[in-house]
Structure 1
């Protein structure tokens, strides 16, 4: 199983060609002692073997070769057809056994037989300094059981050929079939709050500021535009909060991905304490130093962990969005935030 499944702590998980951008970022954090949600990586070798063994590689080659790249209708037709192909083509038994064993071992280690997991795309072209593919590939939250996990792994693979993803790939001179997709499987965090942190101001480009946006529950409400998150601005060097802006957090998403209303009293409170925001900023500074570049970082506050040890990082990658001159602050932040938070589609 060494070639097909890796934990974040294994040396092989630092090989982007095997684990993709997201998997690599999580492995770097885990091996540096930074807290991440427990899980494992299904390597790109499983994706490649699936395409070969099922004949989908040939079908995809033929479909891509004959389509009009400039036609949105053609790309949307491809997306629908490919989604049906992947939904209707289960993994061959040898591959299925490997990924199901990975799920069983994680559930056993956590003593959670009905473990809920997030199934997250991690492509080889993803989360690089030049091409983030942010928001182009799929992530699914709240999958329970090996069957649901296996199905949604295939849906992550299919998302390589979504209308948006192929357009983005071609724009950057990348052949979609050259994109190899690893998949990260992680325990769903029981998030009291979650959000995204930028180690550079997304509105001004000021590298002396760290900007944090957060809302109650999982981060799905932010990316979906269902809520307006709380915003915190922290002075990077001095380590104090410069600004707080209360959002409208009228919904929160639970580990099952379902939304429930937030009562008025909680809506009128900030979802992060000052100490949590400052601890996040410290973690952001550390990651920026590690990578020698501004980072955008996805995080959650796990309600099941002690208050002084409840921060879990879900993703870290370089800031790739260029700040347009004169762009409205809210527009820039909303586009950046939507690019990094997990989504249920």
Structure 2
């Protein structure tokens, strides 16, 4: 820019250090155009009025002093916020445009229309305050945006309303809370060519996981039509997650999550009197994903480029032109919540006792809170809100800001992760569950509930006050250990919570949890859908697999993505994925499963683990598991995944399983694939040397090994006193197989419950020379410390013997 006295400036002539002149939003658009359009990122052209133009507008109408007086009266308690805001906005709306300023706006608009080659070009008119989008304040939605503005008169009217919106009640309250001087914040107006996303799609993306701060994913929300519905949270969008470290490889498609939203309506162009309007989406639009894989990856790569340029996590708005299919970035600002958190601090909430689950939605944050409900249906009733209550409403917009600040937690019917309710809740540090669907119908004022956001992506509302604990740990203070401490993980939805733990990988990722929760369909029912006799199961499968022409692909995609979210947490460290280990009675409970499972008296010792994989009863289902692992390692790129075979009874069975795996594209050693075996049967210990000839490593399953060593059903209540993983016979088994694995050059770890339930057991394992110990996340800190102490004692004992 040539100076601060210019009243109009084109986006390409400003940069991010021009916030004082054109505000954060417009400065960022100029930064993008100057630096990232050469790298392939498209930004619609436009211009901005400057802060000098704003002050000129005030001075020409002699209203600056009157604004100061009105603010002073409010701060002194002589006037209410609503009264003050209305009076100030009236000053702006009744003011006249200075001739030279209105002429400059008209001239720039005509030039923009000429550049694009369209008379009366449709533009977006956006407010850009000179204090917004800073590292410690997002000012999300504080000022107004006007879409599909088409002529000079409408443009000047929209600009006047933008100026007035600097003093909405919510903006006044927000600046006061953040300590900004109301008369030192100016407003710039951005005038930008509209993207025809009314005919296409739009949304928001973050270059960081907004709930956990996991910095290796891009989270993308998408809906049909203009983007206001996504930003305001009045529509439930699609959501995609992409793993950033693998995006550099153009042969990969590292999309690790897809969730189809309801997308019940879309915003489109309207008339002159009503420039935009909402219309219902079609059945096809609601059932379809907004973005295909190529589009998701393109947007994710743009997010990484923008983040790399700015040097911080970013909050980005995008739009897709329905006429050309091209993507555009229409806003980019620093993410202000997770990026400000102390990375070394891990706060873990554990719900111990809870009431009946009443509702579920998207979890915002990771906290748990109990309290009383205060149901507010419209902003007209916010004066009835009881401070410190849990706010329950259909949806929020910036007008709700004053009451949201007084809430202890927030629950909404509608909205996604990038909705206004979600953004503000994060900034205020409040737990929130959004998009529940019918919270306003189920919950009532005065009711006692618990809001839990500590159980993964999904947030839950429980009846009554729950019993929960919270622990804060500084992970930088944890000791280092030679023995690798890994994690047992099963739930992809909760995996990102643990990314800050300094673990050495995943020692056990349970495939059956993903199948049982994310897929819910028996793989043989998908492989043999045409011959399935259960009509009800067929109907359920059709509903669950909507959008998939080949139903088996649903199983492969969802299993690959679920496991990818687990592997992503520790990448490039190893992630050991155990092949499915359901028992027959558990498999039978899956949709369509009863036709394919035998009835067994004792499923615990029956048709489970390795014996299934080569059997005609399950071989086609196992082929789908192999396809999913192949996609996980190949197409998605998670070559850190190690495959583990459970309940392998004999060396002959090991050979059969490895042969079937190779036939399905998972040959041991090919493309670096390692295959481990669970050590949970006495035969695995007795023939450890022979098993080591066929596998790259062992993982001790102390539960089953204890069961079969002592002859005690681990689920038998009458024999619970006899089930002891620290029994001398069990410890002999464990010490023996560790020694045999060491002699054979095979890696060996333990993934059973013993180290988690009995941290002292870790000392025994260290003395035996185990390579790794894999524990549940909530036991990680305790076991890590116990292992460090055990290693120190072992070292000291060794030094004493050497000295002697």
CA distances 1:297-339 after superposition (whole Å, capped 9, x unpaired): 000011232x4xx11001111111348976x844458474328
Change (3 A) 1:27 1:12: closer
Consecutive unaligned residues in structure 1, runs of 5 or more: none
Counterparts of 1:188-199 in structure 2, within 5 Å, are: 188-191=194-197, 192-199=200-207
Max radius of gyration: which structure? 2
Q: Which digits, 9 at most, give the CA deviation of each residue in 1:234-282, with x for residues without a partner?
A: 1111231001000011211124421122110121000111111100100
CA distance in 2, matches of 1:194, 1:69: 44
CA distance in 2, matches of 1:163, 1:111: 39
Residue aligning to 1:43: 50
Equivalent in the alignment of 1:290: 309
Aligned pairs (5 A) from 1:68-217: 68=75, 74-191=80-197, 192-217=200-225
Change over 3 Å in CA distance of 1:330–1:112 after alignment to 2: farther
Q: 1:319 aligns with which of 324, 335, 353?
A: 335
Deviation readout 1:124-159 (Å, 9 max, x if unpaired): 101111122111111111112111111111211111
- Counterpart among 63, 70, 86 of residue 63 in structure 1: 70
Aligned residues of 1:69 and 1:75 also touching (Cα < 8 A): no
Aligned position for 2:613: none
Question: What's the counterpart of residue 244 of structure 1?
Answer: 258
Please identify, of 316-325 and 152-161, the stretch whose mean Cα deviation from structure 2 is larger: 316-325
CA apart distance, 1:16: 1.6
CA distance, structure 1, for counterparts of residue 317 and residue 215 of structure 2: 18
Matched, 1:254 2:260: no
Shift of 1:225: 3.0
Alignment of 1:17-28 (within 5 A): 17-28=20-31
Shift of 1:13: 7.6
How does the TM-score come out when normalised to structure 1?
Answer: 0.91
Cα distance in 2, alignment partners of residues 292 and 147 from structure 1: 40
Deviation at 1:14, TM superposition (A): 5.0
- 3-state SS of 1:67 partner: helix
Q: How much has 1:68 moved relative to structure 2?
A: 3.6
| SS, match of residue 125 in structure 2 | strand
Shift of 1:96: 0.9
How many angstroms apart in 1 are the aligned matches of 2:421 and 2:97? 30
The offset of 1:79, in angstroms, is: 1.7
How many residues are matched? 336
Moved over 4 A (4+): 11-14, 322-326, 332-336
Match of 1:234 in 2: 242
Question: 1:47-102, CA deviations, whole angstroms, 9 ceiling, x for partnerless residues?
Answer: 0100011011111011111114679x711112212222222112121211111111
Which range is displaced more, 219-228 or 245-254? 219-228
- State the distance in 1 between where 2:151 and 2:16 align: 24
TM-score using structure 2 length: 0.40
Compared CA separation, residues 70 and 277, structure 1 to 2 (3 A): farther
Residues of 1 paired with 2:58 and 2:422: CA distance? 28
Aligned to 1:293, the other structure's residue is in SS state coil
SS, match of residue 55 in structure 2: helix
Higher relative contact order (CA 8 A, sep 6+): 1
Q: Which residue of 2 aligns with 1:273?
A: 292
Q: Is the 8 A contact 1:196 1:337 kept in 2?
A: no
Query: Distance between the aligned counterparts of 2:419 and 2:44, measured in 1?
Result: 20
Q: Distance in 1 between matches of 2:138 and 2:16?
A: 19
